Amino acid sequence: MGLISFKDLHLDEVHDVLGGRGLLDRGPLIAEQAYRGVHGQFAQRFADIRGLSHRKVARLDDTFSLRALTLESVHEADDRSRRYVFRLDDGGVVESVLIPRHARWSLCVSSQAGCALGCRFCATGMLGLKRSLEPWEIVDQVLQVGRHAGVRVDGVVFMGMGEPLQNEGAVFQACRVLSCREGLQVSPRKIQISTAGVVPAIHRYTASNHRMDLVFSLVSAVPEKRALLMPIQKTYGFHELIDAIRAYAASRPKRHVTLEYIAIKDLTLGDDDIDAIREHLVGFPFILDVIPLNPVEGSSLETPGREEVRAWTERLRPLGFPVKVRLSAGQDRLAGCGQLGATLL
Ligand code: SF4
């Protein structure tokens, strides 16, 4: 029988596997000990876990593998954020970004190697899709960064490489593992999944009982501009997406929905953009996260000046919704939004 990847599993599933093989005869503690060791102490071998007898280590080694990504390099930016580059077993590369938030740490993780959606402002999109990640490959980004940086990651954002809702099963399983009580204990409320607008998956999510937050890459509120920037709009139209976002917002009446907006020079900071926001968005609780475009080689899109972004966002204030300007972490180390994978181009 082949080995099962331990980092793919929630504690309950580890129990089930061990129980199914008759290996829980000394009580369930072997599962808890192993889980705490791998997810809490970042053990890389069962033999390194304190308090596990040789017999238990042998049982675990006969049942599970502790497959791991290969950490290739770490790039620290002036703002203390760090870009981590990982090599996959099949030679692919994914990146994660550790972001300091006051006394806490968030990790921006990748859900795919490359991306099929080809957004025009994004280096990952220029790579095309290599493949989707398995749950353990997502979970291991968090484990390895926590181990390397010596920090407890308490927030996870799926805003790295890939469209998470095109890898739903693996992403949701990874979220289960990350929030397990004996593991990393990342609250589902501190997990954000950012989507470019895979409408059927948004509806499925709305109908589910998942507790993570969806975040929407609106990018532009003018349908024609958004279509130019995000080819996915040919598949799922602008109004279809807005309807899906409204239904999602209605299903979570106590929470604001975050819409990400990309500030692009001479493109998304006009009067028509304000009119479109007023026409299409006002009427449900949302926060507009305005992200100035991060430069990507090979793209003709330009970054606006800070003053231009500030002046434009000031003009949104009378519309009555919160607006935040979010400067991406780690731009000087190609760790900003839209920059992951830039070194692979
Ligand atoms: S912005 Fe997201 S969805 Fe679009 S190409 Fe980049 S990784 Fe893919």
pLDDT digits (tens, 9 = 90+) for 58-84: 999 999 999 999 999 999 998 889 999
Ligand 1, atom 3, lies closest to the CA of 163
CA of 126 to the centre of ligand 1 (A): 9
Same structural domain for residues 36 and 147? no
Same structural domain for residues 116 and 204? yes
Same structural domain for residues 127 and 208? yes
Closest ligand 1 atom to 196 CA: 3
Confidence of residue 281 (pLDDT cuts 50, 70, 90): very high
Question: What pLDDT, on the 0 to 100 scale, is given for residue 163?
Answer: 98
Residue 316 near ligand 1, beta carbon < 6 Å: no
CB neighbour burial string for 192-205, b if at least 16 within 10 angstroms, e if fewer: bbbbbbbbebbeeb
Residue 210 and residue 165 in contact, taking contact as beta carbons nearer than 8 Å: no
Question: What pLDDT, on the 0 to 100 scale, is given for residue 343?
Answer: 79
Confidence of residue 25 (pLDDT cuts 50, 70, 90): low
Contacts of 236 (CB under 8 A, 6+ apart): 197, 198, 199, 200
Q: If you average pLDDT over residues 237-255, what whole number do you get?
A: 95
Question: What pLDDT, on the 0 to 100 scale, is given for residue 283?
Answer: 84
User: Across all residues in the chain, what is the average pLDDT?
Assistant: 94
Ligand 1, atom 7, lies closest to the CA of 162
Q: What are phi and psi of 241, to 5 degrees?
A: -65, -45
Please choose from 95, 121, 122, 161 the residue to mutate so as to test ligand 1's pocket, defined by most ligand atoms within 8 A of CB: 122
Q: Which of 42, 65, 88 is the last residue of a domain?
A: 65
CB atoms within 10 A of CB 25: 8
Q: Where are the beta strands (DSSP E) in 56-207?
A: 64-65, 70-76, 82-87, 93-101, 104-108, 112-114, 129-132, 155-158, 191-195
Q: Which of 34, 65, 96 is the last residue of a domain?
A: 65
Residue 38 CB-half CA count within 13 A: 29
Token reading at 110: 């990748």
Same structural domain for residues 24 and 169? no
Same structural domain for residues 132 and 51? no
Q: Where are the beta strands (DSSP E) in the chain?
A: 4-5, 64-65, 70-76, 82-87, 93-101, 104-108, 112-114, 129-132, 155-158, 191-195, 213-219, 257-263, 286-292, 323-325
Residue 162 near ligand 1, beta carbon < 6 Å: yes
Closest ligand 1 atom to 159 CA: 2
Residue 339 near ligand 1, beta carbon < 6 Å: no
Would you call 233 helix, strand, or coil by DSSP?
Answer: helix
Would you call 194 helix, strand, or coil by DSSP?
Answer: strand
CA of 140 to the centre of ligand 1 (A): 21
Residue 125 near ligand 1, beta carbon < 6 Å: yes
Token reading at 290: 């305005």
Q: Which of 12, 44, 65 is the last residue of a domain?
A: 65
CA of 336 to the centre of ligand 1 (A): 13
Same structural domain for residues 142 and 197? yes
Q: Taking 70 as the threshold, does the pLDDT of residue 344 lie above it?
A: yes
Question: What pLDDT, on the 0 to 100 scale, is given for residue 101?
Answer: 86
Q: Taking 80 as the threshold, does the pLDDT of residue 270 lie above it?
A: yes
Q: Give the Cα-Cα-Cα angle 262, 268, 271 (nearest 5 degrees).
A: 140
Same structural domain for residues 42 and 181? no
Residue 109 near ligand 1, beta carbon < 6 Å: no
Same structural domain for residues 60 and 189? no
Confidence of residue 26 (pLDDT cuts 50, 70, 90): low
Question: What pLDDT, on the 0 to 100 scale, is given for residue 153?
Answer: 96
Question: Which CATH number fits the domain that encloses residue 275?
Answer: 3.20.20.70
- When divided into structural domains, the chain yields a total of 2
Same structural domain for residues 256 and 307? yes
Q: Taking 70 as the threshold, does the pLDDT of residue 197 lie above it?
A: yes
CA of 116 to the centre of ligand 1 (A): 8
What are the beta bridge partners of residue 106? 99, 155
For residue 216, give the H/E element and its range. Answer: strand 213-219
Same structural domain for residues 49 and 74? no
Question: What pLDDT, on the 0 to 100 scale, is given for residue 28?
Answer: 65
Q: Which of 344, 345, 304 is nearest to 327 (CA)?
A: 304
CA of 78 to the centre of ligand 1 (A): 25
Question: What pLDDT, on the 0 to 100 scale, is given for residue 333?
Answer: 73
Residue 115 near ligand 1, beta carbon < 6 Å: yes
Residue 119 near ligand 1, beta carbon < 6 Å: yes
Question: Which CATH number fits the domain that encloses residue 16?
Answer: 1.10.150
CA of 81 to the centre of ligand 1 (A): 21
Same structural domain for residues 211 and 109? yes
Q: Rounded CA gap, 174 and 180, in Å? A: 10
Residue 117 near ligand 1, beta carbon < 6 Å: yes
Beta strands at 93-101 and 82-87: parallel, antiparallel or unpaired: antiparallel
First to last CA, the chain: 40
Annotated catalytic residues are: 95, 337
Q: Taking 90 as the threshold, does the pLDDT of residue 260 lie above it?
A: yes
Same structural domain for residues 39 and 126? no
Q: What's the domain range around 12?
A: 4-65
Q: Taking 80 as the threshold, does the pLDDT of residue 330 lie above it?
A: no
